[in-house]
Chains A and B, each alone.
Chain A
Amino acid sequence: MSSKKAVISGVYDTKVGALPESTCMSLHTEAGLGAIQDAGLKVSDVDGLLTAYSFTSPQLMLGAVFAEYVGMYPKVSASISMGGATAGLLVAHAVALVESGMCRHVLCLTADNRMTGLGDKVQAALASVGHPQYEQPYGMSVPSAFAQAAQVYMHEFGLTHEHMAAVAVNQRANAAKHPNAHMKKPITMEDVAKSKMVASPLRVLDCCLVSDGGAAVLVSAREAARDLPKTAVEIMGVGEGHTHEHIFMAPSLVDFGCKDSTATALGKAGLKHSDVDCAHIYDCFTSTLLICLESMGFYGRGDAGKAALAGEFAIDGRFPVNTNGGLLSYGSSGAAGGMFHVVEAVRQLRRECGERQVKDAEVAFAHTLGGIFSGHCSMVLGRL
């Protein structure tokens, strides 16, 4: 393994769900300082700060607001706003900062209190990202935009409601094993089938949650992390793929930027799909996960849904997916939704997951997605 590669030296995620006492900044503070403490470092050790964005408390310079609030004076500071892809992109940019020698410890920080901060205005806020002239006049909701790909998949590749339901049921079972998960009450295939239709073919239990919460990852130069307390996790490869913003402009409704991002990340890591022991993939909808798994090349066309139904994604299955319960059941807090996946991937490789632990996990794959299948970031993480 190349000794130049960056590592993840600290991770933290806050409680998720309804946190009525929280604010955007309190969640940033808890997550950011938590990750620094997890790495055994002090705020003053951090020389790079990368933050995302907030819907609840929009800021022109969110990173500067956070740094000022906690008393941090980074050498490099930037905020990235690329929707759900942002968490992965923060880590990808941190890798570049560390491997180029510009920084030693870069804090990648995401949080928002969307659930209690926005309440019932959250769906309208999300829909407002649609194109003001060519989407919003048609009442496009975010589920209805993602549903366009799901319908094509049902029509062309035999995706079924049962395939999607199997994803939801599996992830709820995983979330039940996580002390902090937002939704732990077990659900059945029938519960998913009977849940209210939101935008066909997606029902309520096919859709991710809206949660308050935050998560952070500290990316460090390998030599700077040598004497730190936790098992360092190597960032073996990262990759991105960007094809469009609005779903009507997507070059394909079945292949997306995740195809390139996965190929790039695996290529940089020098690994194959079959080397991945557990996958932590952005799951804003059950269908999104299945479509991405096939576009990424983990499964052939029409096979991911069957694999879900056959139980392959279970923690002790052939290909464990979203062991923390994912956005569907663990929690979804804006850009932090994707960061929860990165945190869980690190915890799997550190073997800290208790009853969620994937046996002998050596290589984890994490993926974040922004917009309507618009921007993608993949990373391959390895146990050192």
Chain B
Amino acid sequence: MSDTPALIKPIPVPDADSRLYWEGANQGKFMFQRCLSCGKAQFYSRSLCSHCQGKNLEWQAAKGLGKVASFSVVHRAPIAPFADDAPYVVALIDMDEGFRFMCNVIHCDPATVRIGMPVRTVFEERPGSTQKIPQAEPM
């Protein structure tokens, strides 16, 4: 049932900016860019540093550790493919390397998620796609 096209969750389509990020996810690595001019990390990957507009960016693999900056437990899914997951957590994660990204906090009771909660990244396989999706789970 979950393989019917209408119930497949949105599949990210990598582009020139993001290909290494999504390829990294498929290999179990959370890849991000660090600017060699100003030293700051950035998410999402792009063609220049959004802090200083420098072009000298280095790809690094994050250790995969972070904390919940904020979250919401979604009870009403915006589209049908997420309806069976509700209630599920949409969260902002602050990674130890100094950037923030959005994901679900999985492998836990949504009612236990808190701001400041330590999490680690995991890579979720989803039906209907070969692209693994970066996610977070409690430590």
Contacts and interface: CB of A to CB of B under 8 A. Distances in A.
Interface of A: 123-124, 126-127, 131-145, 147-152, 155, 196-202, 246-249, 253
Given A137-B10, A141-B76, A196-B75, 18 more contacts: A124-B79, A137-B9, A137-B12, A138-B104, A139-B78, A139-B85, A139-B90, A140-B90, A140-B102, A143-B74, A148-B69, A152-B69, A155-B70, A202-B72, A246-B102, A248-B101, A253-B69, A253-B92
B74 A144 contact: yes
Contacts of B76: 123, 141, 143, 196-199
Given A124-B79, A132-B13, A133-B44, A138 B103 contact: yes
Q: Is the interface of B mostly helix, strand, loop or mixed?
A: mixed
A247 B71 CA distance: 12
Contacts of A135: 102
Contacts of A199: 72-76, 90
Contact of B71 (A139, A148, A196, A198): A148
Size band of the interface chain B makes with A:
35 or more
B108 interface: no
Interface of B: 9-15, 18, 22, 43-44, 69-79, 81-82, 85, 88, 90, 92, 100-104, 115, 133
Contact of B70 (A127, A132, A143, A152): A152
8 contacts: A123-B79, A134-B102, A138-B103, A138-B133, A151-B115, A199-B76, A249-B100, A253-B70
Given A133-B18, A148-B71, A152-B115, A141 B78 contact: yes
Q: Is the interface of A mostly helix, strand, loop or mixed?
A: helix
A137 B128 CA distance: 13
Given A137-B133, A199-B72, A253-B70, A248 B100 contact: yes
A139 B104 contact: yes
A198 B75 CA distance: 5
B78 A151 contact: no
A140 B18 contact: no
Contact of A134 (B69, B73, B75, B101): B101
Contacts of B77: 139, 141
A145 B91 CA distance: 9
A146 to B, nearest CB: 8
